[in-house]
Structure 1
Amino acid sequence: MGLYSYAQNARVKGIILDENNNPVENVNINAQNKSAKTNANGFYEIIIPANQKISIIFSHVSLQKTTVTLQLKPNEDYEFNVTMNNKAEQMGEVVIVNNKKRVQGITNIEPEVIRRIPGANAGIENILKTLPGVYSNNELSTQYAVRGGNYDENLVYVNEIEVYRPFLIRSGQQEGLSFTNTDLVQNVDFSGGGFQAKFGDKLSSVLDITYRRPTKFGATAEASFLGGSLSVDAVSKNQKWSALTGVRYRDNSLLVNSQETETNFRPTFADVQTNINYTASTKWQWSFLGNISQNKYNNQPLTRQTNFGTINDPIALLVFYQGQEKSKYDTYFGALKSTFTVNENFILKFIGSVYHTLEQEYFDIDAAYSLGEVDGNIGGENFGNVTFSRAIGSQLNHARNDLDALIVNTEIKGFHTLKKHQIEWGIKYTREDIRDRIIEWEVIDSAGFSINPPKFPKGIKLPANNQPYEPYVGPLVPFQNVRAKNFVTINRFSGYAQWSLKDKIGSADVWYNAGVRIHTWQVPEYDLDNNGKIALWQFSGSNTHTQAVISPRAQFAIKPDWSKDMVFRLSGGFYHQPPFYREIRDAQGEVNPNVKAQQSIHVVLSNDYSFKMWKRPFKMVTEAYYKSLTDVNPYTIDNVRIRYAATNNATSYAQGFDMRLNGEFVHGTESWFSFGYLKTKENIDNRGDIPRPTDQRLKFAILFQDYMPNIPSVKVYLNLVYNTGLPGGSPSYADPYDYLNRLRDYRRADLGFSYVFTEKNNLRPEGHWMKRFKDLSLGFEIFNMFNNQNAITNTWVRDAYTKSQYAIPNYLTTRVFNVKLSVRL
């Protein structure tokens, strides 16, 4: 009888965490007449009857009750890990939408979606670019712009720890790997504006990522023509220790070799990342996040031909290269985090991190070019070939740039619950130590005649250059020449305090949040003695520039007691961006310690509507926003390199409307459609409004998942983005008021097919070899499916004979095919 009874039972086990990913002790688990409790590590185990629908109730004195309904097979072991808080409840096997994120204006992205969707630079940023208000026109880059901001205006956190990107990178194809390893991710939240005071001092957006806490051994692996990755989950027997470790390798040769420039080129990127957790007791938890990455970018360009012009007057740029580029970016990052639970209503967190980057950018590239006439006779033997060269010139680029940056952070946070009120606060100290040497110059000649620089060096007046009609007797100087050596130390103190409350007005639910941030920083002046060392007088108080800003912010949300599930939200406040090192260094490499923080008054009005269509869940989110910016630091964008003016001589604004519809267009899969309208302009020195470099007016995006009805093991994924053209394509040294042209529209579609071998694992008998895999799939991807020619910048070529200057587009990647194998244990 006892054996028979055991055979008709099943076991449910797992770990229960709170919303801060800390184990919860003394959670009561009840199922029919069975009960259990979690231990100090949040672990539980309960036996339930098999072959029956059983409701399991998880309850705790200070957390919201959670319910799940399961029907398990005899002797089945089922793992169910629960996140409990006072805002969400789990019913069935699906978590109901978290109202906390709805009222904060946060978009949550499932990690599985991130891993499945194809992209030339797959990962979290690849998915972000399909969201409304998020703009990019470079598939090789992980950088993105949000609602009129630039790449430097986005906050990125991993496990509440701010992460950074390299300084010197000027091209998307140099970037390699994003810091975030998608194999380790548990949760991804994104806010495009109007975010709370607890987030840092940036103007545009917040990407908040949480790595998962393993509960048992697991492993994932992926291999493709672009590289591979391997991650391992490990847990100690007593559940006190857990670790995630991921190793990644990427080779971008497949992508960059599809471009027009023929090169000997093999850019390689590798990193290793680990997240270690230790539960010392019910009150103390510790974690360590570490990352080491190395990006090598070795490029030896050979030839290039770009056809442009019109049908009646086709022109080609022919370039023959000599020389090479050797750039390297090594980064080291370590962070220690400790959480101390004083009592159930008071939690303290201590965070310390160190970021060290060593970067070098070395190149000597001589480009001999000619402009030629192209045979436009369709059907002719020489169609598309150059028949006559009418201009010849050359360009020599040289750089020896080195940067050594060390950034240290220490922070303490507090979380208090006082009945219905929640109070959070934090204090942070940051020290940035930058050692930067810049030596780069460019020499241009056209048909043998040297081209003078667009801006003359200080103190030099060059005579007019009227070659070839008159001999030039002035000095020969580079067209561009930047030489500087900067040793900069910035000390920052920042803090925040905020209050939150969920209440009612009549029968409507309402949420309040109000907070304030304070940020002060010091930038000392310095000088170098004859030996290249910092002069001691820089440390005196009279030569230290101290500034401070205060940023009040607030959110209000209301959920009326309507038959339709709607939430309305109004948020905004003052957002400041105290200058980072890049922002105080101008285009000539000189540091201006007096640069102020850019300020934005931000207002966001949104509606979140959840509904059912075809008996499936859907959601439509619409947001209207307006930003008014003062003390703006103007900049230009060259590929992904931002060059600031290091002044505060501009004002600007950004306004727009975003809409996103997401849901199960195909049963069991999430897809979405995004639309965005943006208008952003700036006024430099009161010369009038012109489009900002990120003024990308319209945006459409589709992320779609499907499967073949007759072969459900075959999955189909589509990632489609359309952005109207950015202003620019002008030389970075040019006056923006003289160049108001735009780049061409950005259009890209990536398609992926995947055959999932483990799709029918539930139908396979016990002991089948396929049962050991949670996922085993083979995929085929087509990047840039329609082979659109997208341009990132223009190369400006001068013709001394015709006195003309041509803008030749620098095209991005063409159509590329990839094969990918994914394994998860």
Structure 2
Amino acid sequence: MKENHLSLAPQIFFGTCARAQRPKPGCSAGVPSLLNVWRLLGVFLILMGSLASVSAQVESAAITGKVTDLISDRPVDFVTIYVEGSNTAVESGQTGRYLINVPAGEDFQLVFSRLGYRETKVAITALPAGGTKQIDVALAPVESTLEVVVRESKIEEGGMIREQPEALRLLPSTTGNLESILPHIALGVSSGSGGELTSQYNVRGGNYDENLVYVNDFEIYRPQLVRAGQQEGLTFANMDLVRSLSFSSGGFDARYGDKLSSVLDIKYKRPDSLRASLELSLLGGGAHVEGSSRANKDGLKKFRYLVGARYKTTAYLLGSLETTGEYLTDFADIQTYLTYDFSKELQLGLLANYNRSIYNFDPVTRTTAFGGFFETLQLFTAFEGGERDDFLTQMLGVSLTFIPEKKENPFFLKLLTSAFRSDENEAISIGGAYRLGQLDTDLGSNTFGEVINELGSGNQQQSVRNFLDIQMYNAELRGGLEINSGQEDVTRAHFLQWSVKAQYEQINDFINEWERLDSAGYSLPFNESAVELFSVLKTENELQSTRFSAFLQDTWTWRKEDRADLRISAGVRATYWDLNEELVISPRAQILYKPLGGTADISYKLAGGIYAQPPFYREMRGPDGVVNTNLRSQKSAHIVGGITSDFYYGKRNPKKFRFIAEAYYKSLWDLVSYEIENVRIRYSGLNDARGYVAGLDLRLNGEFVPGAESWLNLSLLQAREQLIGVEHREVVGRDEEGQTISEVVEYVPRPTDQLFQLSLFFQDYLRKNDAFRTHVNLTVGGGLPFGIQGDNRIFRNTLRFDTYHRIDIGFSFRLYDRQKSRRANTHFLKFTRSTFLSLEVFNLMQVANQAGNTWVRTILDQQYAVPNRLTGRRINLRLKMDF
């Protein structure tokens, strides 16, 4: 069955022709029709239907705690605890302790009921499968006028950062993508060299290709040819559909895949009522609708749906760049998540996405001044030609989840199958005539600000015709078993998880790039007998391969009232790729410890393991276009230690603040060295480096003003590497004759070495009118290293960009809220649940940050690094309606 699935899916879903590639014999290029999508859906449904005869259920979590009398503080026994709407209940024991299994992945109300006390309902946000949360409740007697007290305490499952998206929706963002908020809420995350134009992010000295992204347990992939932030469209995750997100900056569990740096785990909603939203702004907009069918006689809502569509255009934003011209950008996507519950034990899920990014650019002129006050240079370029880029990505995933309703030793099985295709087309034909000169910086001169000395002039012509088609099909079977052996006051449990996965990949790559340079009428490199091109790259590659992976993990939980909460997770992953015939074993472990019974709310974390990243196509392709099929996995030995403290601050704020500190060290080997141009990563295609990363991450978040969450992150790191067989040197000074003096160094900075990164997201509101709020987004980051083009091996990454610093600010006004409005029945916006209007100012201080360099050569083969600057100040207006 699996072989049939892998062989038929490419033809049914995507057809046999690439959309905009060179047509294959007997076939014309065309856009894959939506009819083909539904045909593949039919194939998947048939496959899933054949498995419906097996038993299945929804994953579970656990809530434990203690119930006491609010007045006497004594334990209360025989309290009935149950999930509202369910028929499963437990009772508290003589010590007031209780333990109840609850459904994972959905919000619910936990009810506490006992004769003589007021019934209490506690709203519980969705818990991850296998997660444990402590809820201590102090019940008020019926005759008492006191309010019930609820205290929460838990170890974060897997040591991951967890956030709800509601507080983040109004954060000012130029991209509109969820990933752009990570530098403000997660540990050790920066936006890299692409700045505000990109959703790519670096984590603890790694690059963007080292990050995992999951949505509802499906691994998400992305386009590969993007070379500049201007080309980036919409990423997969739609904020309107997100229920929760979890993020690990390193030391993650064996159940997550094979990357070196991070995991972003996103869960979409399971709606139970009809809701919708609409958003409009100068940079695009979006809409979504969600709902479910009516409950049957058993109270089960069998069908649930989420549908979201987004549109983004960055022409207005790109108009602030130094290169003038006509920017025509159209980025759009539509996606849906559907679930159908055959019973309380068996659920079918479908996740589908269609994403298209079109970037057209016709440059006219560029004027860039750079250098110091005493020597300021200016590059002026007049262009002709243009760029036409088209990226199409599609994804379809189907899951079948089964968890039998068992009180003792519950287990689950989950089958996931998915198909992904990325069809990428890049066409550039741009010529430019440039002039590089020195500006007059004498304030008293009549020629102040004008070119007084021409250093060089010439022409640059670039031609690119690149086509890349990637298709991936996979099937995975996951399982889990919980074994409880605790007593009334002691919790002991094992949660075993396992998985086996197979993935087929087919890649077709066609590259045709050349660049011609001339200076003062002479082509570079100069040849008296012929005209030579500065660079030429022509290649065509086709790869077909299969990857296999599996993991086994056990999470042991021990908890004793007023003593401690301990969680130990240990597991191992194994991966095999038939292309390079490499088998990699990756053991990983975590220890999370939280003392109980004291006044301090502190937990400790220690994690580590061996992490391996099998190569993908981009790592295998060298600068000459040759694919190295013998490339080995990049590897890392990783250790992380951290502390999390929850504490109260201020008399007016009833909610705890959270402080997190983590220190880490990574030893790296079998690395594939690379250089970064804007956001494009260019690999060497060889396992030619080793290195290390060490750092410290600090985060403080909480409500500095009640009801408005804020985050402050500070990261310090050092990332170093050594090219094997290269004696690195660095310049330490100059002699009397002006010649450079250098010395040998063992390690040099990696392209992602960033000494510090400070991120702040702060919210505030008017004391007498909380409908008017301010959202400040501040980022300050140390300059990233780079080297001289074409000569970046011995003296490697010796130069640095300027410090990146930027402030975005937003002012939002709640025009209407059905729950708070005094004129809810007569307000002109009463057809909405809530409506917000936001005014956003991007790059408030008009800082000219740098995203890379344009290298200009003279006839003497001297090179000048001309900075490519990011966007200037822009104002955006945004309207958000929830229905």
Say if 1:63 and 1:86, in contact at 8 Å, map to a contact too.
no
Pairing of 1:787-806 with structure 2 (within 5 A): 787-800=846-859, 804-806=862-864
Q: Do structure 1's residue 551 and structure 2's residue 598 form an aligned pair?
A: no
Distance in 2, Cα, partners of 1:284 & 1:118: 41
Alignment deviations for residues 602-631 of structure 1 (CA, whole Å, 9 cap, x no partner) = 000000111111043101100000000111
Q: Do structure 1's residue 508 and structure 2's residue 545 form an aligned pair?
A: no
Q: Do structure 1's residue 727 and structure 2's residue 800 form an aligned pair?
A: no
Alignment deviations for residues 787-807 of structure 1 (CA, whole Å, 9 cap, x no partner) = 111111111111226x53211
Which residue pairs with 1:414 in the alignment?
479
Distance in 2, Cα, partners of 1:823 & 1:721: 29
Mean Cα deviation higher: 195-204 or 666-675: 666-675
Q: Secondary structure, in 3 states, of the residue corresponding to 1:648?
A: strand
Residue among 446, 449, 468 paired with 1:403:
468
Deviation at 1:380, TM superposition (A): 7.0
Q: Do structure 1's residue 38 and structure 2's residue 103 form an aligned pair?
A: no
Say if 1:566 and 1:609, in contact at 8 Å, map to a contact too.
yes
Counterpart code for 2:581 = T
Which residue pairs with 2:215 in the alignment?
158
Alignment deviations for residues 68-93 of structure 1 (CA, whole Å, 9 cap, x no partner) = 699xxxxxxx9967646761255799
Say if 1:140 and 1:173, in contact at 8 Å, map to a contact too.
yes
Residue among 640, 649, 652 paired with 1:613:
649
Which residue pairs with 1:684 in the alignment?
723
Distance in 1, Cα, partners of 2:391 & 2:149: 43
Say if 1:638 and 1:732, in contact at 8 Å, map to a contact too.
no
Say if 1:124 and 1:182, in contact at 8 Å, map to a contact too.
yes
Mean Cα deviation higher: 60-69 or 167-176: 60-69
Q: Do structure 1's residue 211 and structure 2's residue 256 form an aligned pair?
A: no
Structure 1 residues 96 and 807: CA distance shift in structure 2, 3 A: farther
Say if 2:155 and 2:592, in contact at 8 Å, map to a contact too.
no
Q: Do structure 1's residue 749 and structure 2's residue 807 form an aligned pair?
A: yes
Which residue pairs with 1:272 in the alignment?
334
Pairing of 1:241-256 with structure 2 (within 5 A): 241-256=303-318
Distance in 1, Cα, partners of 2:499 & 2:519: 59
Deviation at 1:753, TM superposition (A): 0.3
Q: Do structure 1's residue 223 and structure 2's residue 280 form an aligned pair?
A: yes
Counterpart code for 2:865 = A
Say if 1:426 and 1:495, in contact at 8 Å, map to a contact too.
yes
Say if 2:172 and 2:809, in contact at 8 Å, map to a contact too.
yes
Which residue pairs with 2:381 in the alignment?
319
Structure 1 residues 375 and 512: CA distance shift in structure 2, 3 A: same
Pairing of 1:120-135 with structure 2 (within 5 A): 120-130=174-184, 131-135=186-190
Distance in 2, Cα, partners of 1:147 & 1:34: 43
Which residue pairs with 1:348 in the alignment?
413
Say if 1:273 and 1:291, in contact at 8 Å, map to a contact too.
yes
Say if 1:602 and 1:626, in contact at 8 Å, map to a contact too.
yes
Mean Cα deviation higher: 402-411 or 607-616: 607-616
Structure 2 unpaired stretches of 5+: 1-56, 64-77, 90-96, 114-120, 138-147, 296-300, 485-492, 728-745
Deviation at 1:708, TM superposition (A): 1.5
Mean Cα deviation higher: 498-507 or 571-580: 498-507
Distance in 1, Cα, partners of 2:657 & 2:671: 40
Deviation at 1:711, TM superposition (A): 3.1
Q: Do structure 1's residue 579 and structure 2's residue 653 form an aligned pair?
A: no
Which residue pairs with 1:368 in the alignment?
433
Deviation at 1:36, TM superposition (A): 9.1
Structure 1 residues 82 and 349: CA distance shift in structure 2, 3 A: same
Which residue pairs with 1:529 in the alignment?
none
Distance in 2, Cα, partners of 1:651 & 1:86: 37
Alignment deviations for residues 703-741 of structure 1 (CA, whole Å, 9 cap, x no partner) = 101112243211110111111000116426743635510
Deviation at 1:132, TM superposition (A): 3.3
Say if 2:850 and 2:867, in contact at 8 Å, map to a contact too.
yes
Deviation at 1:762, TM superposition (A): 2.7
Which residue pairs with 2:668 in the alignment?
629
Q: Secondary structure, in 3 states, of the residue corresponding to 1:749?
A: strand
Residue among 703, 720, 727 paired with 1:664:
703
Say if 2:286 and 2:309, in contact at 8 Å, map to a contact too.
yes
Structure 1 residues 733 and 483: CA distance shift in structure 2, 3 A: farther
Which residue pairs with 2:34 in the alignment?
none
Counterpart code for 1:156 = V
Pairing of 1:556-571 with structure 2 (within 5 A): 556-561=591-596, 562-571=598-607
Q: Secondary structure, in 3 states, of the residue corresponding to 1:338?
A: strand
Structure 1 residues 667 and 383: CA distance shift in structure 2, 3 A: farther
Distance in 2, Cα, partners of 1:20 & 1:702: 36
Q: Secondary structure, in 3 states, of the residue corresponding to 1:513?
A: strand
Q: Do structure 1's residue 740 and structure 2's residue 798 form an aligned pair?
A: yes
Which residue pairs with 1:451 in the alignment?
524
Structure 1 residues 490 and 86: CA distance shift in structure 2, 3 A: closer
Q: Do structure 1's residue 433 and structure 2's residue 543 form an aligned pair?
A: no
Q: Secondary structure, in 3 states, of the residue corresponding to 1:335?
A: strand
Q: Do structure 1's residue 644 and structure 2's residue 679 form an aligned pair?
A: no
Distance in 2, Cα, partners of 1:710 & 1:341: 50
Distance in 2, Cα, partners of 1:237 & 1:334: 27
Structure 1 residues 730 and 180: CA distance shift in structure 2, 3 A: farther
Deviation at 1:646, TM superposition (A): 1.1
Distance in 1, Cα, partners of 2:152 & 2:794: 46
Structure 1 residues 298 and 512: CA distance shift in structure 2, 3 A: same
Structure 1 residues 35 and 121: CA distance shift in structure 2, 3 A: closer
Mean Cα deviation higher: 397-406 or 683-692: 683-692
Say if 1:729 and 1:743, in contact at 8 Å, map to a contact too.
no
Q: Secondary structure, in 3 states, of the residue corresponding to 1:121?
A: coil
Counterpart code for 1:750 = D
Counterpart code for 2:541 = N
Say if 1:438 and 1:485, in contact at 8 Å, map to a contact too.
yes
Which residue pairs with 1:592 in the alignment?
628
Distance in 1, Cα, partners of 2:369 & 2:131: 62
Deviation at 1:108, TM superposition (A): 1.2
Which residue pairs with 1:521 in the alignment?
577
Q: Secondary structure, in 3 states, of the residue corresponding to 1:822?
A: strand
Counterpart code for 1:291 = N
Counterpart code for 1:99 = K
Say if 2:809 and 2:840, in contact at 8 Å, map to a contact too.
yes
Across the aligned residues of Structure 1 and Structure 2, the Cα RMSD in angstroms comes to 3.0
Which residue pairs with 1:492 in the alignment?
547
Q: Do structure 1's residue 784 and structure 2's residue 823 form an aligned pair?
A: no
Structure 1 residues 558 and 61: CA distance shift in structure 2, 3 A: closer
Which residue pairs with 1:473 in the alignment?
528
Deviation at 1:552, TM superposition (A): 0.3
Q: Secondary structure, in 3 states, of the residue corresponding to 2:533?
A: coil
Say if 1:764 and 1:771, in contact at 8 Å, map to a contact too.
no
Distance in 2, Cα, partners of 1:477 & 1:619: 62
Which residue pairs with 2:73 in the alignment?
none
Q: Secondary structure, in 3 states, of the residue corresponding to 1:206?
A: strand
Mean Cα deviation higher: 732-741 or 784-793: 732-741
Deviation at 1:94, TM superposition (A): 11
Distance in 1, Cα, partners of 2:288 & 2:867: 40
Structure 1 residues 86 and 133: CA distance shift in structure 2, 3 A: closer
Residue among 172, 194, 210 paired with 1:118:
172
Distance in 1, Cα, partners of 2:62 & 2:163: 23
Which residue pairs with 1:536 in the alignment?
none
Structure 1 residues 79 and 400: CA distance shift in structure 2, 3 A: farther
Across the two proteins, how many residue pairs are aligned to each other? 741
Deviation at 1:381, TM superposition (A): 7.4
Structure 1 residues 34 and 330: CA distance shift in structure 2, 3 A: closer
Say if 1:242 and 1:277, in contact at 8 Å, map to a contact too.
yes
